[in-house]
């Protein structure tokens, strides 16, 4: 019959074996190590990114910047908006007559001319893409003067109504001629809107990638804490057994000290894991504009990241970078902007030669209706001519502005070339980083499998008394470190893939987070409405 001490020792070793095997099996599950977290707020990675889009203030600022440039582009389209011009003028005049006019009048005692006129005008003015300014309008003058009474031959004894209806055109032929000059500011505003859109895409990708990296960092911190919790339990079990064996005279005092030292080391590691978990939660909470003490609970990452192998051919990723990288696209838009400015500056350096023409019909009568009826009699009035304006200094301002725009365009070309070189090098480095991170996962997984097998062997030897508990703790400690390293390697791989996706401009479409400009504009309107409502409530 075995002794009581032998039975107790066997029971302790059995508990130790069960706990260690539980540690190995728990690493294969989806547990987060926070099942006991009070008031936990479990969030999947996709839901977390949706919350970031909805609540991150940095993204909202970038959305407002894009909305501002979009509105400026729309404002430039207003150059073709017709303008209605309405006017009314009261005119009174009193002056002495010259000797010649006195003779022509032939009325003794009349030495002055007095008039009280009312003039009304209306017109429609607008610009056309050729650069021409067109005016369609009419004028009506109610003319009253003392000559109407003096001139016995005049049928106008009270007042005269003089009218005119017609059109005038000023068409530039050199400077300011054509759609390229007329639409220059509109095209520049469109490119500025494109730059703002690419800046928003960049900010959105970087913010979401940072948030996703923080999410997986939170998962890593949760798992590290869980691993240390389990390791502490193993060390506590070994310490209890060591004390029991020492009491039974089967173990020396040094075995207890060694077990206590192992337990203290694991508890220190657990304390550091708790601190890291708190920091990770704070980082994650910052992305969704909240705190770790949100009423919904402490944020808990729901599941481990899925390891997805990526094709790592340089040419394929470079094609994505060339077409979708926000920085590269924005710089190409800046280069187009400078090209538009150069073309406009060339046009402005030309002499100003304008074609001016007008055509209209005149009317005169005792009433406004009678005056307008005279149009049928074809009392025409027209003019056509050219006006040339040449700077005597050869266009000092225009020449220097043209030189400046050419210099800025050349600088934009050099910046684009430099950016292309930088992106090529960065892409090559990032691809290598992803490859090495993937290889590291395989290496750590192989190490974990070997150490798990080693732990099984040591447990079997422990059961037959061929190895000390201290050796088992050493093997279990090595296995713990390997599991932590394997998990860290997975997170590193995920972060490397995030970096690659952001660089290639494919982060948003790969996660089905792409938005059209109209969707962003609608989100911006919602932000403005909330801001307006909040301001009203504050008052």
pLDDT tens digits for range 339-356: 999 999 999 999 999 999
Percent of the chain with pLDDT over 70: 86
Handedness of CA 292, 295, 300, 303 (dihedral sign): negative
Helix, strand, coil in percent for the chain, rounding step 5? 65, 15, 20
Q: What's the mean per-residue pLDDT of the chain?
A: 84
- Write down the pLDDT at residue 196: 92
What backbone torsions phi and psi does residue 42 show, to the nearest 5 degrees?
-80, 125
Q: Distance of alpha carbon 212 from its chain centroid, rounded?
A: 17
- Write down the pLDDT at residue 425: 96
Average pLDDT value for residue range 414-443:
94
Structure tokens of 25? 């099996």
pLDDT tens digits for range 167-179: 999 999 999 999 9
pLDDT tens digits for range 203-223: 999 999 999 999 999 999 998
Average pLDDT value for residue range 144-160:
65
Of 98-107, 220-229, 530-539, the one with minimum mean pLDDT is 530-539
Query: DSSP label at 145?
Result: B
CA 476/CA 234 separation, integer angstroms: 9
Q: Would the pLDDT of 68 be above 70?
A: yes
- Write down the pLDDT at residue 232: 87
Confidence band for 290, pLDDT divided at 50, 70 and 90: confident
CA 287/CA 141 separation, integer angstroms: 69
pLDDT tens digits for range 52-67: 988 888 888 888 889 9
Percent of the chain with pLDDT over 90: 44
Question: Which domains, and CATH codes, for the chain?
Answer: 4-71+187-332+412-538 (1.20.1600.10), 80-186+351-394 (no CATH)
Q: Distance of alpha carbon 13 from its chain centroid, rounded?
A: 60
Average pLDDT value for residue range 419-436:
95
What backbone torsions phi and psi does residue 233 show, to the nearest 5 degrees?
-60, -40
Q: Would the pLDDT of 14 be above 50?
A: no
305 within 8 A of 219, measured Cβ to Cβ: yes
Average pLDDT value for residue range 297-311:
78
Structure pTM? 0.78
435 within 8 A of 312, measured Cβ to Cβ: yes
Tell me the Cα Rg of the chain. Answer: 43
CA 60/CA 66 separation, integer angstroms: 10
The residues that bridge with 298 in the sheet, in sequence order, are: 40
């Amino acid at each position: 019959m075995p002794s009581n001490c032998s039975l107790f020792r066997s029971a302790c070793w059995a508990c130790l074996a069960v706990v260690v095997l539980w540690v190995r099996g728990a690493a294969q599950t989806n547990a987060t190590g926070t099942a006991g977290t009070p008031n936990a707020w479990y969030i999947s990675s996709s839901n977390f990114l949706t919350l970031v889009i909805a609540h991150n203030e940095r993204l909202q600022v970038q959305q407002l910047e894009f909305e501002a440039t979009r509105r400026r582009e729309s404002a430039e389209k207003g150059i073709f908006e017709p303008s209605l011009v309405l006017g009314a003028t009261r005119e009174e005049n009193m002056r002495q007559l010259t000797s010649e006019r006195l003779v022509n009048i032939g009325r003794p005692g009349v030495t002055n001319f007095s008039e009280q006129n009312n003039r009304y005008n209306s017109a429609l003015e607008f610009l056309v893409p050729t650069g021409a300014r067109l005016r369609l309008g009419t004028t009506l003058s109610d003319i009253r003067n003392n000559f109407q009474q003096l001139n016995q031959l005049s049928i106008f004894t009270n007042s005269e109504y003089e009218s005119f209806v017609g059109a005038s055109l000023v068409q530039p032929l050199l400077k300011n001629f054509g759609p390229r000059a007329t639409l220059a500011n509109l095209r520049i505003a469109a490119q500025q809107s494109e730059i703002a859109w690419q800046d928003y895409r960049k900010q959105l990708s970087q913010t979401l990638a940072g948030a996703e990296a923080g999410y997986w960092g939170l998962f890593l911190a949760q798992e590290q804490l869980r691993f240390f919790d389990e390791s502490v339990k193993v060390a506590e079990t070994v310490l209890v057994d060591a004390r029991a064996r020492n009491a039974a005279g089967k173990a020396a005092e040094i075995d207890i000290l060694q077990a206590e030292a192992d337990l203290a080391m694991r508890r220190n590691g657990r304390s550091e894991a708790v601190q890291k978990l708190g920091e990770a939660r704070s980082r994650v909470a910052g992305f969704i504009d909240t705190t770790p003490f949100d009423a919904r609970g402490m944020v808990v990452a729901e599941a481990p990241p899925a390891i997805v192998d990526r094709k790592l051919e340089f040419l394929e990723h470079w094609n994505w970078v060339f077409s979708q990288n926000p920085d590269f696209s924005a710089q190409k838009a800046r280069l187009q902007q400078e090209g538009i400015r150069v073309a406009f500056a060339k046009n402005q350096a030309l002499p100003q030669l304008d074609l001016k023409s007008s055509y209209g019909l005149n009317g005169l009568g005792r009433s406004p209706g009678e005056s307008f009826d005279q149009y049928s009699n074809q009392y025409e009035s027209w003019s056509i001519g050219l006006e040339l304006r040449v700077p005597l200094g050869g266009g000092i301002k225009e020449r220097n502005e043209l030189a400046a725009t050419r210099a800025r365009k050349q600088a934009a070309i050099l910046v684009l070339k430099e950016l292309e070189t930088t992106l090529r090098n960065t892409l090559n480095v990032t691809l290598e980083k992803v490859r090495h991170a993937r290889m590291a996962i395989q290496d750590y997984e192989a190490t974990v499998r070997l150490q798990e097998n080693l732990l099984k062997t040591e447990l079997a030897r422990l059961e037959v008394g061929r190895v000390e508990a201290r050796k088992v703790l050493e093997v279990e400690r090595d296995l713990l470190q390997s599991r932590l390293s394997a998990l860290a390697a997975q997170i590193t791989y995920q972060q490397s893939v995030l970096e690659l996706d952001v660089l290639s401009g494919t982060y948003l479409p790969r996660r089905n987070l792409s938005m059209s400009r109209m969707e962003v504009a609608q989100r911006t309107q919602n932000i403005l409405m909330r801001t307006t409502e909040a301001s009203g409530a504050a008052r």
